[in-house]
Amino acid sequence: MGELLNAYRDMCRKRGWIPRKLIERGLSMLEDALDRCEEIVLFLHLPTGYGKSTVTEALVRASLNSYPFFSRVIHILPMRSIVDDLASRLSKSLPEGVVAAQHMGIAGSPFFAKKCVITTLDTFILNFSKIPASELRKALTRNIAHFDFARGAIYSSIVVFDEFHLFSGLGTLREEFKSLQSAVGSIVSLASTGVPVLILTATLPEPMEEYIKEELKAAGVEFKTISYSEEELDESVRESLKRRKISFTVSGEDAVKIVVEKAREKSVLIILNKVAEAVAIYNELKKRTDSVVLIHGKLPERYKKVAINRLLEEKPRIVVSTQVVEAGVDISYDVLISAPCPADRLVQRSGRVARRDSDIHGEVVVSLKLSRGPYDKEVTERTIKVFSEKFNGRTVPKLDFELTSRELIKQVYRGFTIDGRDMYRVITMLDENVLLDTYDVKYAINVFCGFTDSFGLVSAYPEFRVENDLTIGISEREAKHFLRKNRTVVTVDGTLRKLSDTELHHLTSGGCLAVKMILNNIEGIIVDSITYREWCGDYLEELP
């Protein structure tokens, strides 16, 4: 028996768990390739709630026992909130000082030196591409960065890409696939030199998977895939998924009315596509009940953590959310009410109901009264059509729902292709050419406005208090709006400064705003109190 499998089984034995067959098979396949010194990119398609995070814990435990093929684990997730949550959970089960969260909001291991680093894609790509995220300002202003430390840590690791389907906004409007191309470029570069890579997902759309595999084939990199079917699932998991039932409905009723009716006897999670709509529905529900929590992407980190803690510890009767709870947050509700969205997103959201083995029945309601937000009209309409034809008005075992949904995702995206390789070429070129350094990376960042979709986010501070944990990440378009409206920025030393006409024109004209702000020693912008309070709701009442 291999060391990885031993580490996993020993971990399960100590906790009284039954090891998962698909995880065991994946670890065996990984170790077999490493023993033969073969390149390996392993796709692990696992059901929602299957325990993907235990893969990382087993890998870390093996590395702590001087496993010869990698010295650390770097686990990459799409959002800061779930980075913090996973790091917290792993810290409780691994020795002290082993686990660190590292992203733009926290510096637990700036150069990825810890044995287990949980990070975001934007931070990972910066570290991989010769500008450590912790030194971004210094790199852009002085052309200096200690990038070899971080790259050395990456190249001596096993790299785990988790919730991979969320690294691209496939199905959204005006998607450039910047994050996806960067992720795939790094995967190809790493695997080509023998760094083992795992890709974990429950709902990876076929166009994304084909894009990754085509690039791997072109580079001559071997890959393997483990996908689950009814026959291959553990008997206990299979029977549990058969026992739990899912009802599916497409409704034209008012969403608030549905929530109120369902919440009389059941717990309800409603997921919206737009922050403004989430806030409006939350305010309406607050008039009727106190057991309701709001969480969305425009909450500052301080309040986002408060909201997630409430979800996990208090389990409020009603949760109003945006896409931030689609993955990584381990909650189970009786009823999901979802705004129209692409098929893979809908399945991911559905994974938040009837999630526990003790659950009996879950409901999924797609409300046509809610906005499709940033999602492509054709994709959302296809999704509603194929899911309605298969499930509308029916109650089916959760196993059937999950297995059939995978085929429906393929149906929705049939004919879709992912084009463009600009960012892929940039990432692989910066990695392969040892003569390209921080100066060259700086130039590329300025041209492309970063290597991931979230790079261009701008920190927005409330005008009534300038504190880092009250900042909210907003888009460049929104930031330019508030710059023109308020003409006030926060400098790197925390002071407020009014912009001159020349400065305002420079910042709001063409080019990457995020880069311009760094070069001009600007930390963030000011938003007015009214807008900020609309985003944060009654969380501000807790502000001392």
pLDDT in tens, 438-465: 999 999 999 999 999 888 789 999 999 8
Q: How confident is the model at residue 289 (pLDDT cuts 50, 70, 90)?
A: confident
Q: Which fold has domain 236-413?
A: Rossmann fold (3.40.50)
**Average pLDDT of the segment spanning 120-134:** 95
**Average pLDDT of the segment spanning 469-493:** 93
**Scanning the structure block, which residue is given the tokens 């971004």?**
136
Quick one: pLDDT at residue 314? Answer: 82
d(CA 447, CA 449): 6
Architecture of the domain defined by 3-226: 3-Layer(aba) Sandwich (3.40)
How much is the mean pLDDT over the chain? 92
510, exposed or middle or buried, with CB in 10 Å at 0-12, 13-18, 19+? exposed
pLDDT at 173 over 60: no
pLDDT at 543 over 60: no
pLDDT at 178 over 70: yes
pLDDT at 541 over 70: no
d(CA 223, CA 196): 10
pLDDT at 415 over 90: no
Quick one: pLDDT at residue 175? Answer: 59
d(CA 378, CA 412): 9
d(CA 39, CA 232): 26
pLDDT at 24 over 80: yes
Q: How confident is the model at residue 304 (pLDDT cuts 50, 70, 90)?
A: confident
Quick one: pLDDT at residue 426? Answer: 95
What does pTM read for this prediction? 0.93
Quick one: pLDDT at residue 1? Answer: 60
CB 299 within 8 Å of CB 535 = yes
d(CA 130, CA 90): 28
pLDDT > 90 fraction of the chain, expressed in percent and rounded? 74
Quick one: pLDDT at residue 410? Answer: 92
For 346-355, write each residue's pLDDT tens digit. 999 999 999 8
CB 246 within 8 Å of CB 351 = no
Q: Kindly state the helix (H) or strand (E) to which residue 422 belongs, with its residue range.
A: helix 422-432
Query: CA dihedral in degrees (110, 114, 115, 116; nearest 10)?
Result: -50
Q: Could you tell me which of 275, 247, 274, 273 has the C-alpha nearest to residue 262?
A: 247
Q: Give the 3-state secondary structure of residue 270.
A: strand
**Average pLDDT of the segment spanning 486-497:** 95
The DSSP-derived string for 321-333 is: E-GGGSSS----B
**Scanning the structure block, which residue is given the tokens 């785990």?**
160
Where would I find the H helices in 449-539?
476-486, 501-508, 513-519, 529-536
pLDDT at 106 over 90: no
Residue range(s) in the chain whose domain bears CATH number 3.40.50.300: 3-226, 236-413
For the ranges 74-88, 269-283, 381-395, the lowest mean pLDDT is seen at 74-88
Quick one: pLDDT at residue 542? Answer: 60
**Scanning the structure block, which residue is given the tokens 């076929």?**
206
Quick one: pLDDT at residue 327? Answer: 76
Q: How confident is the model at residue 326 (pLDDT cuts 50, 70, 90)?
A: confident
Quick one: pLDDT at residue 325? Answer: 85
d(CA 464, CA 106): 24
Q: How confident is the model at residue 313 (pLDDT cuts 50, 70, 90)?
A: confident
Q: How confident is the model at residue 176 (pLDDT cuts 50, 70, 90)?
A: low
For 246-287, write each residue's pLDDT tens digit. 999 999 999 999 999 999 999 999 999 999 999 999 999 999
37, exposed or middle or buried, with CB in 10 Å at 0-12, 13-18, 19+? exposed
Quick one: pLDDT at residue 104? Answer: 81
